[in-house]
Amino acid sequence: MTEVLLETRNLTIKFGGITAADNVSLTINAGKNLAIIGPNGAGKTTFLNICTGWLKPSKGQVLFEGRDITPLPPRKIVDRGVARAFQIPQLFTEHTALENLLIAASARQKRRNPLVDMHAIPERTEMLHLLDMVGCADVADVLVVELPEGQRKLIDIAVALALKPRLLLMDEPTSGVASSEKHAIMEILIGALKEANVTSVFVEHDMGIVEKYADEVAVWNSGNVQLRGTPAEILEHPDVIRDVIGEVV
Amino acid sequence: MNFSIFLLALFDGVAYAALVFIVALGLTLIFGVMRILNVAHGSLYAIGAYTTVSLVGYFLALGFAPAFAFPLMIVSAILVGIVIGAPLEYFLLRRIYQKSEVLQLLVTFAVFMILEDVQRLVWGTQPYFNSSALQVLGNVTVFGVTYTAYQLILLPLIAVVLLLGMRFFLRHTIIGKLITATTEDREAAQSIGIDADRVFLFTFVIGAVLAGLGGALASPTTSILPGMGADMIVLSFAVVATAGLGQIEGAALTALMIGLGRSFAVYLYPEISVLVPYLIMVLVLLVRPEGLFGSPAARKI
Amino acid sequence: MKNLFVTRAAAAMVAAALPLAAGAADKPESLKIGMTAFLTGPASVFGVPARDAAEILIENINAAGGINGVPVDISFIDEGAGAEALTSEYRRMVESGGAEVMLAAISSGNCQTLAPLAEDLQVPNLMWDCGTQRIFEENDYKYVFRTQANATPEMLATVLYLLKTKPDFKTIAVVNQDYAWGRDSWDIFITALKAMKPDVEVVAEFFPKFGSPDFSTEISRLQAMQPDVILSTSWGGDLDTFVQQASQRGLMNTSTFVLPLAESSLERLGSALPDGHIIGARGDHYFLHPERRNDEDFKAFMTQYEEKTGDVSVYPVFHASQAIAALKAAYEKAIADNSVDWPSEDQLLAALEGLTFQGLGRPVTLREDHQGVEDQLMGTSVQTGEYPFATMQNIMIFDGNELTTPVGQNSIEWVGALDAGFVESVTVDTFEN
Amino acid sequence: MPTGTQSSKPSNKVNARMTSPLSWLWIVGIAVIIAVPFLVPSMQLLVNFAMAKGLAVLGVTVLLRAGQVSFGHALYFGIAAYAGAFLMTSMPATDFFVILIVGVLGAIVAGLFVGLFVVRYRGIFFGMLNLAFSMIFWSILEKFYHLTGGADGLRFTRPTVFGQALDHVQFNMVLYYSVLVLVVALGWFTHRWFASPVGQLFQTIKTNETRLEYLGISPKRALLSGYLLSAALCGVGGVMMGMAQGVVTPEYVWWVRSAEMVFIAVLGGAGSVQGAFLGALIYEVVRTYASVYAGDIWQMILGGFLLIIILFAPGGLIGILESAFKRDTTKPSAKTGDRK
C-alpha cells in the first residue's frame, strides 16, 4: 500500500458542449512516475489544469496530501509543493536561461531585499547546477527567446524543478525535442526526479518513452481514465493499441 | 423633478450622446481592427470642424444657399480622411504596427501635438463659428423649451444611421467581412490572401472620416477653437474603454449613458456633470474589467 | 557662459548697492522689456491681439526716438506653455536676458505666481491684464503695479449699469466658466447686487467646465425657468458658443443677457448677438470710445491695428496700450524728476508711485497700493447695420475712483456694505452711442 | 520591441554603471549639475524643474519595465504636491522635510487605494483607468475651488528648513541640492531594485504572468509593489516641483501632464533610469526655448522630436548614448560584464 500524494474525486468540467473532464477520480502515488496517454482532446491537459488550480471544476475535489486544494489559486498550490511544466514553455522571454531559474529560486525563497542583485543570491550555484543537469549550462546567458523549442522545454522543466516541488506535472516534456535526444533527456530527468525524490506525472505521446520511464500508465479518453496499470499491461491492451498508439503512429 | 423636466434632460442627453458616439465610433473601429488607440483622432475631429466652417464660410460668401452646408460637411469629413488620414497610416502608422502598444500610442500623441500647431498655423487662434446649417433646420418647441431640430433630431438620426450602417457594413459586405477577418486573426487573414495593409489603410481612412464627420457635425453648434480636440479625445477614450475595445454597439450604449448621465447631472447637481464620464467608466470597469461588451482574452497554456 | 557670469555679477553688485544710494544709471543700448501673454491655448484670443498691439506701440515709440533716445526692445513669453516654462523663462529673461521691466500677465493665476517672483527678482512688474482683485488686497508689493482695474470695479460697473437700465427685474441666473475668474467674478457681482437690490432671486447657477463645447442642457434649463436676467462673465470661445446657442434657441428674446466681457467677442458674434443685451469691456475700452474716437492718435492707432491684424481692437489691446503708456510715462517722469539721463531702478519705482498716464482709453492713475484706477465703460448691444456685428448704444462710463475698493479694504466686504443709494450717487457720463 | 531591448537584461544595468565608460559620463553630468547654480544661475530653476519632473518620469519608467503604461500618473505628482500645499497653507512655516514626507505619504496612500483596483488590469485598460482616476481628481480640484483654489491652485510661502526661514536665493539653493540628492539616491535605489529579485519578479509581468503565478507569486501583488514605488517616485517629484514653484494648480494632474511623463520616459529611453533624467532635462530645455523662440510651434517641435526618436532611435536618448559608447568598449566587457 503506497502513500497517496494527490487524489482527485469525481472531477467534472464542461466547455460549452464538450465534457473535458468527466467524473475523473485518480490517485497519484508518492515516488512513482505516472504517464498519462491518450488521443488529443481526451482532456489530459485539462486534468493538469484542474489539479494546479488553473481551472475550477464544476464538480469534484482535488486533494493534495489529504488536504482539499480545489478552491486554491495556482500560486497557493505551488506553495504546497506542486510544480508544473507546460506543453508550450512558459518562460520569461526577455530574460536569459539562468535568470529564469534565478527568478524561480527567488520566488521559492520569497526574497524581498531590494538591494541585492538577483545574480548574487546564494541559490545561484544550485541553479547553475540545475541548468547543467538539463544540459543547458552552455546557454545560461542566452535570452530564452533565442533558444530552440527543445531547450526552452528543458528550461521550463528546470524552472519547475527550481521550486523543489514534491509533485511535478509535465505536459509532453519531450515534444519538440529531437527524437534522438528524447531518451537521453528523460534519463537525466527521471534521474533528477529520483534524486530529488519528486513524484511526477507526465503526459506523453511517445510510447517508447512511456514504456521505459513510467512506473504506471493511465489511459485517457473522452475526459476520463479508461485504464490504469503498469506500462507492460497497458501497452499490450488492444483498446489502447487501437485508440492511442494507433493514433500516434 | 417632474416628467417634463425628465424628458428635457433626456432630449439634451441624447443629442449630446449622438455627437460623442459619432467620434467614438471612428476611434473604436480603428482600435478594433488595428489595435491602435489613436490620440490624433481628436485633432482629426477638430480639423474636420475647421475645414467645415472654412468651406461653408467660403461658399456662402459666394452666395450659395445655407443648406449647401450639409454637403460641405460630408466633403470636409472625406477630405480629412483622405488628405490627413491616409498619409498618416501609409507613411507613419504602417511603420509601427510591430512596436509596443505604448509606442504606438505615443506616436499618435506626437502626431496630435503636431496637428494642434498645424491647426493654429492654418486657422489662427480666434474662434470660428458658423451655424448656417443649424439655422436651415430651424427650431422645435417642447414644453415651451426651444430646441434646434439639428441637435434634437438630425444628430441622433445620423448616429443611429451610422450605427446600423456600420453593423451592416461589417457583417454583410465583402470589405466589411475582410476587415472583421483581419481583426480576428491577422496572420490567418493574410494566409488566405487578404491584403492586411490595404484593409488597415481603408479602416484608418474610414475612422478618420468619422472623426472628421464628428467635427463637421459639431461645427454649427459650437465655437471652433484651438484645443477643442483635446477634450473630445479624452471623452471618446472613456467611451471606447467603457464600451470594451472595438465594441461598436457598446460605444453607442456608453455614449448614451454618458450623455444622459451628464444632462441629468446638469438638472440635478450641475457641479458633478464633468465627473460623470469618468465615474461611469470606473464603475463599469469595476464590474466588467473588459468593458461593457468586451470579452476576456483566454491564454492557452 | 562667461559673459552671463559677468552680467550676473554686475546685476548682483547693482542689487547690493541699491538699498544704500540710488544713483542714476548709465543710458543702456536699449530698454529691454518682457511681456507674458497667451500665444497658444484658448486665452490666445486675448494674448495675440495684445502682442500685436504692443509691437505696434513699441514701433511707434522707437520711430519717435524711443524713451529719451533709448529704443525699447520687447520680447514675449507664451503663458500657454505652462507654469514651469513661464516661470523659468520669466526668471531667465530677468536674470540673464537683461529685461529691466516685465509686463505680466493675462491669467490671474500667473499674476499670483509671478508677483512674488518679481519681488524676489527685484524687477518692476506691470500687471497689464489679469483681473483678480486679491493681489493687492492680500499682499503688499514693492515692485508690482497694475496698470488697469480689477474684477471689483468691473463687476460693480456691470451691476450699476444693470440697475440703472433694468431696475425692476426679479430673477437672475448665472452661467460662468468653472475656474477662478468665473467663480470670483460671480461672488463679487452677486454680493454687490444683493447689497443694492436685496429682493433679487438667484434661480440657477451653472459653472460648466472651462472650454465647454456645448451648453445645450444649461440652455434648456434656463428656458424652462425663464429668468429675467442671465449673467455670464465668460469670454473667448466659451462666450461665443454660449451666445450663439442661446440666440439660436431664442433664449436671448426671453431673457436679458449681461455679458461683462462681450466687447472682446462683438466682431466674432456678428449678427448672433441681438439688440438690447448688456455689454462690458473690462474698463473704458471700445474701438468707438465716445470720447476718444475723434482723437487723432486714437484713430491713427485703430487704423494701424486694423491694417496689421484685420480685426477691430478689443480690450486686451487697450490694456497693452496702458501698460506701455505707463512704462513710457514712468521713465520720462523719473528722468525729469531726477534730471538724469537714465533712472536707476529705485528712481523708476518712485516714478511709478501715483503715476498718471493715458493709453487708448481715459487716463489711469496708480494708487498707493499700486492698483490702477480705471474708468469703466458699459453699453447695450445694437445691430445698426453700420458694422457686420453689434455695437454699443446708451453707453455709460463710470468713474473708477468710486468703483475701486478703498485701499486696505477687502472687496467682498466693501461691496457687501453698499446700498441702493449707491446706484444714484455714482458719477456717470452717458452717451447715445 | 524597443522597450524590450532596454529591459531585456536589467541586471547588466547595475554593472554597466560600474564598468562602461558611460558611468563616467553620469559622474561628469552630476558634477555639471552641481556646478549649474554658480556657472549658469539663470538655468538653476530650469534644471531644478527638470530634476523634479525626472523623478516623476522615473516612476512611469518603473511601470514601463513591467510593460504597463499609465496615462494618469500625474495623479500622484499632483496629490503629493497638493498634500504639501495644504499642509503649508494650513500651518505656514512648516519644515521643508515634513512637507516632503507628508507629500510622498499622500502619494503612497493614494497609490495603494488606486493600485489595489488597477492592478487587475493590463495594457490599454490599465492606462485608461489611471487616466480616469487622475481626471476625477482633476475635476475635484477644479470643483471644490473654495478648498483647492480651483484653476488658480494653491499658493504658499517658502517652508522653513530646520526651523530656519530662508530668503528665496538660499531656499532655492537648498531646494536645488536636495532635489539633486534625491535624484541620485532614488535613481540608485531604483537601479538596484530593478536588478533585485523582487524587482525582477515585478518585471516578469511584462513577459509571462502565467509562469509567475506558477512560481507561487501573485502577479497582482508583484505589480502593486512596483505601482507603489512608481507612485512614491511621482510623489517626490510632485512635492519638489510644488515647492520650487511656490504654487500647485490642477494642471499638475491634467492628462496631458501624464502623457508628457510617458513621452519623456520614452524619449530618454524607456526602462532606463538615467534616461528618465536625461529625457526630462532635454525636454525642459527644448520646451522652454521652443516656447520662447518658436512660440507658435513649440508643440510641433516636441512632437517631431518624439517621432524621430521612436522611429529612428527606439532606444531613446540613452540608446543613442550607449551605442555611441559601445564602440569604444570591447565586446566581452559589454556582453559578459553583467555576469560575475
Sort out which chain D residues have CB atoms less than 8 A from C178's CB and list them.
Answer: 142-143, 150-151
Q: Which of residues 28-57 of A touch B (CB under 8 A)?
A: 49, 54
Are residues C81 and D168, on separate chains, in Cβ contact within 8 Å? no
Sort out which chain C residues have CB atoms less than 8 A from D40's CB and list them.
Answer: 1, 4
ipTM above 0.85, yes or no: no
- Distance (Å, rounded) from C-alpha B265 to C-alpha B272? 6
Q: Which of residues 267-286 of B touch D (CB under 8 A)?
A: 271-272, 274-275, 278-279, 281-282, 285-286
| Of A10, A49, A7, residue with least CA distance to A29 | A7
* B15 Cβ under 8 Å from any chain C Cβ: yes
pLDDT higher than 50, residue B98: yes
- Distance (Å, rounded) from C-alpha D109 to C-alpha D115? 9
Closest-CA distance, D291 to chain C, in angstroms, reads 6
Which residue from D minimizes the CA distance to C107?
D152
How high is the pLDDT of residue B292?
86
Reported confidence tier of residue B103, pLDDT bands at 50, 70, 90: confident
Both A73 and A195 in one domain: the answer is: yes
Domain with D160, as residue range(s), is 2-336
Both A179 and A246 in one domain: the answer is: yes
Kindly report, residue by residue over B43-89, the tens digit of the pLDDT: 999 999 999 999 999 999 998 998 999 999 999 999 999 999 999 99
Looking at the structure of chain D, the number of domains it has is 1
Both A143 and A178 in one domain: the answer is: no
Both A158 and A176 in one domain: the answer is: no
Q: Which of residues 30-89 of B touch D (CB under 8 A)?
A: 31, 37, 39
Mutate which of D63, D130, D135 to test chain B, going by most B C-beta atoms within 10 A? D135
How high is the pLDDT of residue C5?
42
Burial B25-61 (b: 16+ CB within 10 A, else e): bbbbbbbbbbbbbbbbbbbbbbbbbbbbbbbbbebbe
pLDDT higher than 80, residue A39: yes
Cell of C285: 475700452
Looking at the structure of chain A, the number of domains it has is 2
Domain with B203, as residue range(s), is 3-287
Are residues A54 and B301, on separate chains, in Cβ contact within 8 Å? yes
Residues of chain C with pLDDT under 70: 1-23
Kindly report, residue by residue over A52-96, the tens digit of the pLDDT: 999 999 999 999 999 999 999 999 999 999 999 999 999 999 999
Q: What 3-state DSSP class applies to D15?
A: helix
Task: Give the residue from A132, A164, A196 where a domain finishes.
Answer: A164
**Nearest CB to B117; choose among D259, D270, D296:** D296
Cβ atoms of B232 and B270 closer than 8 Å: no
Q: What is the pTM of this model?
A: 0.86
**Nearest CB to D195; choose among A109, A118, A163:** A118
pLDDT higher than 80, residue B36: yes
Are residues B110 and D303, on separate chains, in Cβ contact within 8 Å? yes
Which residue from A minimizes the CA distance to D67?
A94
How high is the pLDDT of residue C381?
96
How high is the pLDDT of residue D122?
87
Reported confidence tier of residue B296, pLDDT bands at 50, 70, 90: low
Which residue from B minimizes the CA distance to A87?
B301
Closest-CA distance, C172 to chain B, in angstroms, reads 17
How many A×B Cβ pairs under 8 Å?
Answer: 7
Are residues C223 and B12, on separate chains, in Cβ contact within 8 Å? no
* A6 compared with D11, residue with greater pLDDT: A6
Are residues B278 and D67, on separate chains, in Cβ contact within 8 Å? no
Fold of C152-284+375-431: Rossmann fold (3.40.50)
Which residue from D minimizes the CA distance to B227?
D256
Both A151 and A210 in one domain: the answer is: no
pLDDT mean across residues, chain D = 85
B177: number of Cβ within 10 Å: 14
DSSP E strands in chain A: the ranges are 4-15, 18-29, 33-37, 59-64, 67-68, 82-85, 167-171, 199-203, 216-221, 224-229
Q: How far is CA D220 from CA C264, C268, D106, D122, D198, in A?
A: 54, 54, 22, 10, 13
* C402 compared with A245, residue with greater pLDDT: C402
Mutate which of D11, D210, D215, D335 to test chain A, going by most A C-beta atoms within 10 A? D215
* A249 Cβ under 8 Å from any chain D Cβ: no
Cell of C197: 437690490
The fraction of chain D above a pLDDT of 90, given in percent, is 50
- Distance (Å, rounded) from C-alpha D312 to C-alpha D138? 35
Both A208 and A194 in one domain: the answer is: yes
**Domain residue spans in chain C?**
2-146+294-373, 152-284+375-431
Q: Which of residues 36-75 of D touch B (CB under 8 A)?
A: 64, 67, 69
* D42 Cβ under 8 Å from any chain C Cβ: yes
- Going by the DSSP 8-state scheme, the letter that residue C284 receives in this structure is S
* A106 Cβ under 8 Å from any chain D Cβ: yes
CATH of the domain at B94: 1.10.3470
Sort out which chain C residues have CB atoms less than 8 A from D151's CB and list them.
Answer: 109, 178-180, 210
Average pLDDT over residues D279-297: 82
Question: Within 13 Å, how many C-alpha atoms sit on residue C220's CB side?
Answer: 28
Q: Which CATH number applies to C2-146+294-373? A: 3.40.50.2300
Q: Which chains touch C (3 or more CB pairs under 8 A)?
A: B, D
**Nearest CB to B106; choose among D135, D256, D262:** D262
Task: Give the residue from A119, A136, A164 where a domain finishes.
Answer: A164
* A27 Cβ under 8 Å from any chain B Cβ: no
* C308 compared with D14, residue with greater pLDDT: C308
Average pLDDT over residues A174-201: 85
Mutate which of A101, A109, A119 to test chain D, going by most D C-beta atoms within 10 A? A119
Are residues D210 and A90, on separate chains, in Cβ contact within 8 Å? yes
Give the DSSP H/E element, type plus range, for residue C154.
helix C151-165
How high is the pLDDT of residue A2?
67
Sort out which chain D residues have CB atoms less than 8 A from B275's CB and list them.
Answer: 136, 139-140, 143
Mutate which of D167, D168, D291 to test chain C, going by most C C-beta atoms within 10 A? D291
Cell of C141: 508689493
**Nearest CB to B226; choose among C44, C178, C311:** C44
Sort out which chain C residues have CB atoms less than 8 A from B16's CB and list them.
Answer: 214, 216-217
| Of D242, D230, D235, residue with least CA distance to D101 | D235
How high is the pLDDT of residue C346?
93
Type of residue numbered A105:
A
Sort out which chain B residues have CB atoms less than 8 A from D3's CB and list them.
Answer: 100, 102-103
Q: Which of residues 241-300 of B touch A (CB under 8 A)?
A: 300
Mutate which of B11, B19, B22, B125 to test chain C, going by most C C-beta atoms within 10 A? B125
Sort out which chain B residues have CB atoms less than 8 A from C182's CB and list them.
Answer: none
How high is the pLDDT of residue C18?
44
Are residues C217 and B9, on separate chains, in Cβ contact within 8 Å? yes
Reported confidence tier of residue D19, pLDDT bands at 50, 70, 90: low
Looking at the structure of chain B, the number of domains it has is 1
- Going by the DSSP 8-state scheme, the letter that residue A140 receives in this structure is T
Domain with A3, as residue range(s), is 1-81+166-249
Sort out which chain A residues have CB atoms less than 8 A from D208's CB and list them.
Answer: 90-93
* A86 Cβ under 8 Å from any chain B Cβ: yes
Sort out which chain D residues have CB atoms less than 8 A from A49's CB and list them.
Answer: none
How high is the pLDDT of residue C87?
86
* Contact residues for D46 (Cβ-Cβ < 8 A; gap 6+): C88, C92, D284, D285, D288
Average pLDDT over residues D243-249: 88
* D2 Cβ under 8 Å from any chain B Cβ: yes
Sort out which chain D residues have CB atoms less than 8 A from C108's CB and list them.
Answer: 152
How high is the pLDDT of residue B37?
87
Both A187 and A235 in one domain: the answer is: yes
| Of A49, A79, A76, residue with least CA distance to A169 | A49
**Nearest CB to C224; choose among B15, B145, B148:** B145
Kindly report, residue by residue over B234-269, the tens digit of the pLDDT: 888 889 889 987 888 999 999 999 999 988 988 888
**Nearest CB to B15; choose among C178, C206, C216:** C216
Cβ atoms of A199 and A168 closer than 8 Å: yes
